[in-house]
Amino acid sequence: MTETRETTSVAIVGAGVAGLTLGNLLLRNGIDCIVLEKHPRAYVEQRQRAGTIDTFGVRMFRKWGLEEVLAGEPIPHSEGGFYIDGEAMPIDVDDNDNDNESLYCPQQVLVRNLTELFLRDGGDLRHEAADVSLEDVTGDRPLVRYRDADGTAKIIYCDFIAGCDGFRGVSRRTVPASALTEYSHEYGYNWLSVLAAVPTKPSGMAIHSLGLAGMIPRGPRTSRIYLQCSVTDTPEQWPDERIWDELQARFGTPVTSGEILDKRIVPLRSVVFDPMSYGKLYLLGDAAHIVPPMSAKGIHLALHDTEVFARAVIRQVKEGDPRLLDSYSETCLPHIWNYQAFATWITDIMHNAGFTGGEGEFRKQVARAELQRQFTSDAANKLFSELTAGTN
């Protein structure tokens, strides 16, 4: 069977946040790229995850002239708050804080906007790319093989491969285990993540002896609910009635029940792979690291990697200077570890506080003290308002 052969400068695997942002940054700077995505466009554009872009992300898109990708379906503002054992904690959020530019923009809206912009600018984006495999990544001319939506075998020769295909993608698996160190931490509990057709009331996060609960708006009549659960729990162990009962108990305030649209278990873990490159293959976003959703910093890290990598490729292609590419991993990793430190801290504070699998009442009092201390610090206050808006 004959194979179609093409060439490009950067082959991008995965059309999520990192892959599409990278495609747009390269295209705007006159660098050839092809983006391959295994799922159909409709699926990728409806996949619900994060709800907020933090200040770094907003400024990054603006700096590169891409801020139109942040326009989207408005989500009603709701007064988010913290609760401990059913008692609302007073929060003094500064509405005039000009340093906080985070905004509601559901991940699926961001992906849809990035896709539209890339295609409008003439970008080459191929959905339903099956059996993607990477070859000769340590050679001069790496290649990507795949089958297109019609089943035709294709080969793309390129200068660089950007592995933006998430935690379970093919890119990282191409790197021999001996060339990669995995650092990982399991938190010892999971989240039941629920999408429900109800207005968000109450809104915020609740620390309770039964475990953490959260309720965050995802639309005028849609809410994301999460409930800390055991690592052995399955969605079947959480019938709808149990979800509403637990939510009410953990917030300590009445909750209006409604239709449950989706429920799934989300593992809470932190993972970092080091280094983030191998030959001409570079790993970006979730392909290289995972932060627990409690930190709401997955998008931030994906965008940070993308900006570092885009600058490095532009410098290489336009000036023949490989130094930024050579130091890609060393540039990204300290930033990632900083955010892992924050993610571990906030995840521990918000969970494990009286939950029977945790350390009990002592931890709950520590959590109360930590939260109160944060509300009296400007920097931490900003962090918390981004956090409570962003957690999915």
Ligand X SMILES: Cc1cc2nc3c(=O)[nH]c(=O)nc-3n(C[C@H](O)[C@H](O)[C@H](O)COP(=O)(O)OP(=O)(O)OC[C@H]3O[C@@H](n4cnc5c(N)ncnc54)[C@H](O)[C@@H]3O)c2cc1C
Identity of the residue, 250 or 300, whose beta carbon is nearer to ligand X in the bound complex:
300
Identity of the residue, 56 or 363, whose beta carbon is nearer to ligand X in the bound complex:
56
Which among 185, 109, 100 is positioned nearest to 387, based on CA atoms?
A: 100
Q: Contact, 191 vs 265, CB < 8 A?
A: yes
Using alpha carbons, list the distances in angstroms from residue 184 to 218, 268, 288, 323, 391. 30, 11, 12, 29, 21
- In the chain, beta strands by DSSP E: 4-13, 33-36, 52-53, 81-84, 87-89, 103-104, 124-126, 130-135, 143-147, 153-163, 181-197, 204-207, 213-219, 222-229, 259-274, 277-278, 281-283, 289-290
Q: Contact, 299 vs 283, CB < 8 A?
A: no
Q: From the CB of 266, what's the least distance to ligand X, in Å?
A: 5
CB-based contacts of 110, cutoff 8 Å, min separation 6? 17, 53, 69, 70, 72, 299
Sign of CA dihedral 293, 297, 300, 306: negative
The amino acid present at 365, given as its one-letter code, is Q
Binding residues for ligand X, per CB under 6 A? Answer: 13-19, 36-39, 44, 49-51, 107, 129, 132, 164-166, 169-170, 193, 266, 285-286, 293, 296-300, 302, 390-392
Identity of the residue, 363 or 391, whose beta carbon is nearer to ligand X in the bound complex:
391
Identity of the residue, 285 or 358, whose beta carbon is nearer to ligand X in the bound complex:
285
Q: Contact, 213 vs 226, CB < 8 A?
A: yes
- The phi and psi torsions of 205 (rounded to 5 degrees) equal -125, 140
Identity of the residue, 245 or 262, whose beta carbon is nearer to ligand X in the bound complex:
262
Identity of the residue, 346 or 354, whose beta carbon is nearer to ligand X in the bound complex:
346
Q: From the CB of 339, what's the least distance to ligand X, in Å?
A: 10
Q: From the CB of 265, what's the least distance to ligand X, in Å?
A: 10
Q: From the CB of 292, what's the least distance to ligand X, in Å?
A: 9
Identity of the residue, 50 or 349, whose beta carbon is nearer to ligand X in the bound complex:
50
Identity of the residue, 84 or 144, whose beta carbon is nearer to ligand X in the bound complex:
144
Q: From the CB of 113, what's the least distance to ligand X, in Å?
A: 14
Q: From the CB of 132, what's the least distance to ligand X, in Å?
A: 4
Compute the 3-state secondary structure of the chain and give helix, strand, coil in percent, each to the nearest 5: 40, 30, 35
Q: From the CB of 20, what's the least distance to ligand X, in Å?
A: 8
Q: From the CB of 270, what's the least distance to ligand X, in Å?
A: 12
Q: Using CB atoms within 10 Å of the CB of residue 81, give its burial: 0 to 12 exposed, 13 to 18 middle, 19+ buried.
A: middle
